[in-house]
Chain A
Amino acid sequence: MRASGKVLLTQRVKISRGEIHSIDERCKQCRLCIELCPKEVLQESEKVNEKGYHPPEAVEEPEKGKSCVACGLCEVICPEYAIWVEEKKENASTEGDQRERRF
């Protein structure tokens, strides 16, 4: 039953896609966004900001299921107001969006 439900849902629900923006100078490398991202999209970058921290960057691998679904968790959890997500309009779907919101 559960599997069939999944098949039906994937046919019906369009999963929204997001684009991650960040202000690197505000990051303090607390890693909350990296650890809590449900799709494991974020990782520490090689860049170094003014204070010596490595800000996060988005590395999407759609074939492994690692792509931003615009859940916005990184935005609400970031203590520094450094990262935010903009939903890409063409694939927007509120139903898919709600399903990924864990917190």
Chain B
Amino acid sequence: MIREEEPQELHPMDWWLRSERLPHIWCAGCGIGPTLYAWTRALDRVGIDKKKVVYVSGIGCCGRGSGYLDVDGFHTTHGRAIPFAVGIKLVKPELCVSVISGDGDLFSIGGNHFIHAARRNVDLLVICTNNFIYGMTGGQLAATTPQRDYSTTTPYGNTEPAFNTPYLADASGAVYVARWTSIHVRLLERSIAEALGMKGFRYIEVLSPCPVNYGRRNRLREVDDIAKWFWEFSVVKHEADTKEVQIERGKPLILGNFVKKEKKLSCYEELKELEERVRAAAEAKK
């Protein structure tokens, strides 16, 4: 909170922030802050004009992010962040559109939108902050909770396997798939900068600590317990097979840039080719 009588020093990030709204609502130690920090630093690194950046967020803790950053933002309905972003991209293809949202928003309620946007290869950057739980509503079981982990609705342990989201994105046709944690901020920043320089549906999963609702029930009560888990039990394996990066208890977290390929954008390039083909055929008929 900025008081008028005290002249405030400026954080180097304040250029990207609506600093009058800080401190934000996220809990102490939340991973969304470092994710946004890495994203804005990557935008700086790539050198994209701030007026051409659009940040679309869904509902959940992450949804609040579009209000804290001083870029064009869209706080959309639950699970529909990707459809809104596709709409923005279709109307104004020159904008740099990013969707930063949570795992519940992108994979539970918005799961179909995610796979279909990936199938169509829309020119979007999707960053998912995966905290393994529905954090904002009180720690219920999410689609990304690892098997045998505890949550409010599974007090004796989760029996269902979790989504392997990099595999899902890869199988649906994303051109760039990576996974990092919110502790590996510099590597995440580099990965986001690489993704921003590409065209097509790019997906980055950011494992994020939720000490209040996930950590408290899974023996990771303190923030630095989760930070140590992410740091010590992670293995960086670039170009690893996305089938093998499932998050399971007792296995290392596999991080890295998994997939990088080139593919035509169905909404623009393929459509333009079709248009040219049809016009040529019509003219030949005349």
A interface with B by C-beta (< 8 Å):
21, 23, 25-26, 28-32, 35-36, 50-51, 75-82, 84, 101, 103
Q: Which residues of A contact B2 (CB under 8 A)?
A: 25
Q: Which of B29, B186, B222, B231 contacts A76 (CB 8 A)?
A: B186
20 contacts between A and B (CB under 8 A): A21-B9, A23-B9, A23-B11, A25-B3, A28-B23, A28-B28, A28-B29, A29-B28, A30-B223, A32-B224, A35-B227, A36-B224, A36-B227, A50-B1, A76-B185, A79-B30, A80-B33, A81-B22, A84-B13, A103-B187
B116 at the interface (CB under 8 A from A): no
Give chain A residues whose Cβ lies under 8 Å from the Cβ of B185: 76-77, 103
Residues of A within 8 A of B22 (CB): 26, 80-81
* Of B24, B38, B222, the contact of A80 (CB 8 Å cutoff): B24
Cα–Cα, bound, A66→B28 (Å): 26
Chain A residues with Cβ under 8 A from B32's Cβ?
79
- Chain A contact residues, majority secondary structure: loop
Taking each of A21, A23, A29, which has the highest tally of chain B beta carbons within 10 Å of its own beta carbon?
A23
Report how many residues on chain B are interfacial, defined by Cβ distance under 8 Å.
35
Contact B34 A76 (CB under 8 A): yes
* Contact partners of B34 in chain A: CB under 8 A: 76-79
Contact between A78 and B33, CB atoms less than 8 A apart: yes
- Set of chain B residues within 8 Å of A29, measured between Cβ atoms: 28
A79:B33 contact, CB within 8 angstroms: yes
* Interface residues of B, Cβ cutoff 8 Å to A: 1-3, 8-9, 11-14, 17, 22-24, 26-34, 37-38, 183-187, 189, 222-224, 227, 231
Instruction: Identify 14 new A-B residue pairs, CB closer than 8 A, beyond the known A76-B185, A76-B189, A77-B183.
Output: A23-B9, A28-B27, A29-B28, A30-B28, A31-B222, A31-B224, A35-B223, A78-B33, A78-B34, A79-B31, A80-B24, A80-B33, A103-B184, A103-B185
Report how far A35 CA is from B31 CA in the complex, Å. Answer: 16
Decide: B28 and A26 in contact? CB cutoff 8 A: no
Contact B37 A23 (CB under 8 A): no
Q: How far is the CA of A103 from the CA of B14 in the complex (A)?
A: 23
Instruction: Specify which of A32, A79, A101, A103 is in contact with B26 (CB 8 Å cutoff).
Output: A79
> Which one of A30, A32, A79, A103 has the highest number of Cβ atoms from chain B below 10 Å of its Cβ?
A79
- Chain B residues with CB under 8 Å of A51's CB are 23
Tell me which residues across on chain A come within 8 A of B33, comparing CB atoms. 78-81
Closest CB in chain B relative to A68 CB, distance in Å: 16
Chain A residues within an 8 Å CB radius of B26: 79
**Which chain B residues lie closer than 8 Å to A26 at the CB level?**
22-23
- B29 (CB) vs chain A CBs: closest residue: A30
Cα A75 to Cα B223 in complex, Å, equals 16
Quick check: B17 and A81 within 8 Å, CB to CB? yes
- In the complex the two chains form, what is the Cα distance from A78 to B12 in whole Å? 13
- Of all chain B residues, which has the CB nearest A51? B23
Q: A25-B1, A79-B31 are known contacts. Are A35 and B23 too (CB-CB below 8 A)?
A: no
